[in-house]
């Protein structure tokens, strides 16, 4: 779901024992103010017991931190069998870019934390951290303010995550928009390193995944929409290492964020590493993998024919 009522939204999975008092204490320990506290909705999908934290109150920017003692609804409901969950998902209550089975995919591609899948499977509840400018706003108020800043939002949300991870019963961090799973230690380590270097903590917001396409490999990002940027899909032969393509995808992402270029399919772009190989880019409305999203596909120009054959094979499956 695109950004709407919520512009950012991440999750912490819990063992079901965490209380609102625990979360409040963890936030206040890190210096966060609690503007107000509300009881949970009649329907947990819309919100559990909630702590509201001021972000930019002068433009009605607040973060709702709510506690739900239910398992994460990874199927995102069903329009007939589970209408409440499906409706909540369609309105962005599970994250503006969440998509069905995102937790399962995150566990399959959690390269930075091997026990991710088994630990996430054992959760019994979750804490949502959702940022909005629409709490109590007039019906005709803009969903996003003119001076909206996605990176500043994520920085604030990240600091809340660091605090809330300390609450008893929290198992791990899960970003449904970027399909990222991290335990407290690996999240904090990456966060602190990025803060010290004054760089965007991309690995905490956007995952990079690896797939085999027969004689070719595919690596892609998922979650760049949180920065209002396209996700990237790289298709390449074994002469490139996954490590250098990983760094390449991060560098291209930073270029998209910093420069906001407008690409057209067929343009050339420098490839990864020191091979001095020109790559081709294509702007596509969807890629080869889930979740569905706009994609910037990149591949070595010299391998264009074999890439097209591989893509055609996937499309026929």
Q: Do residue 99 and residue 151 come from a single domain?
A: yes
Q: Do residue 155 and residue 252 come from a single domain?
A: no
Model pLDDT, residue 112: 86
CA distance 167 to 264: 47
Q: Which two tokens stand for residue 87?
A: 């409706």
Q: Do residue 35 and residue 184 come from a single domain?
A: yes
CA distance 6 to 308: 38
pLDDT in tens, 231-266: 999 999 999 999 999 999 999 999 999 999 999 999
Model pLDDT, residue 316: 66
Residue 69 lies in a domain: yes
For the chain, give the percent of residues with pLDDT over 90.
Answer: 89
When comparing pLDDT for 9 and 114, which is higher? 9
Q: Do residue 87 and residue 227 come from a single domain?
A: no
102 lies in which domain range?
8-197
Q: Do residue 220 and residue 180 come from a single domain?
A: no
Query: What is the rounded radius of gyration, in angstroms, for the C-alpha atoms of the chain?
Result: 20
Average pLDDT over residues 302-307: 95
Q: Do residue 144 and residue 244 come from a single domain?
A: no
**Domain end: 197, 229, 246, which one?**
197
Strands 216-222 and 278-284, sheet pairing: unpaired
Q: Which two tokens stand for residue 65?
A: 């931190």
Model pLDDT, residue 192: 97
Between the CA of residue 152 and those of 13, 144, 274, 296, what are the distances in Å? 24, 14, 34, 24
Model pLDDT, residue 317: 60
> String of b and e for 224-240 (b: at least 16 CB within 10 Å)?
bbbbebbbbbbbbeeeb
CA distance 148 to 145: 5
Q: Do residue 273 and residue 149 come from a single domain?
A: no
Residue 116: Cβ within 10 Å count: 23
pLDDT in tens, 63-103: 999 999 999 999 999 999 999 999 999 999 999 999 999 99
Q: What's the whole-model pTM score?
A: 0.95
Q: Do residue 28 and residue 156 come from a single domain?
A: yes
Q: What total of structural domains would you count in the chain?
A: 2
Average pLDDT over residues 108-134: 94
Model pLDDT, residue 140: 67
CA distance 196 to 208: 23
Residue 73 lies in a domain: yes
Strands 8-14 and 125-132, sheet pairing: antiparallel
Q: Phi, psi (5° rounding) for residue 273? A: 70, -155
Q: Do residue 128 and residue 240 come from a single domain?
A: no
CA distance 92 to 158: 19
pLDDT in tens, 14-41: 999 999 999 999 999 999 999 999 999 9
Evaluate if residue 1 carries a pLDDT over 70: no
Q: Do residue 186 and residue 306 come from a single domain?
A: no
Residue 2 lies in a domain: no
């Amino acid at each position: 779901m695109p950004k709407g009522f919520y512009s950012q939204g991440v999750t912490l999975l819990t063992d079901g024992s965490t209380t609102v008092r625990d979360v409040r204490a963890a936030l206040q320990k890190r210096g966060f103010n609690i503007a107000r506290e509300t009881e949970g909705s009649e329907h947990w999908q819309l919100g559990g017991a909630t702590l509201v934290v001021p972000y930019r109150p002068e433009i009605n920017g607040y973060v709702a931190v709510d506690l739900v003692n239910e398992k994460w609804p990874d199927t995102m409901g069903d329009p007939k069998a589970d209408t409440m969950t499906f409706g909540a998902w369609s309105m962005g209550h599970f994250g503006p870019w969440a998509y069905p089975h995102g937790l399962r995919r995150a566990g399959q591609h959690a390269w930075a934390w091997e026990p991710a899948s088994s630990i996430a499977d054992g959760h019994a509840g979750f804490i949502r951290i959702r940022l909005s400018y629409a709490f109590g706003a007039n019906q005709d108020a803009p969903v996003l303010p003119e001076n909206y800043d996605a990176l500043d939002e994520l920085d604030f949300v990240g600091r809340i995550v660091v605090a809330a991870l300390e609450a008893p019963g929290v198992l791990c961090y899960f970003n449904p928009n970027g399909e990222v799973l991290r335990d407290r230690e690996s999240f904090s380590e990456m966060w602190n390193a990025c803060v010290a270097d004054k760089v965007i903590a991309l690995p905490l917001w956007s995952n990079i995944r690896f797939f085999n396409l027969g004689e070719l490999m595919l690596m892609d990002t998922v979650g760049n929409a949180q920065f209002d940027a396209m996700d990237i899909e790289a298709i390449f032969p074994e002469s490139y290492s996954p490590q250098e393509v990983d760094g390449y995808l991060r560098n291209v992402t930073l270029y998209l964020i910093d420069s906001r270029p407008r690409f057209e399919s067929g343009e050339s772009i420098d490839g990864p590493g020191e091979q001095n190989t020109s790559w081709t880019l294509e702007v596509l409305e969807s890629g080869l993998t889930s979740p569905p999203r706009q994609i910037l596909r990149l591949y070595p120009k010299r391998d264009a024919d074999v890439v097209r054959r591989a893509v055609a094979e996937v499309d026929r499956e």
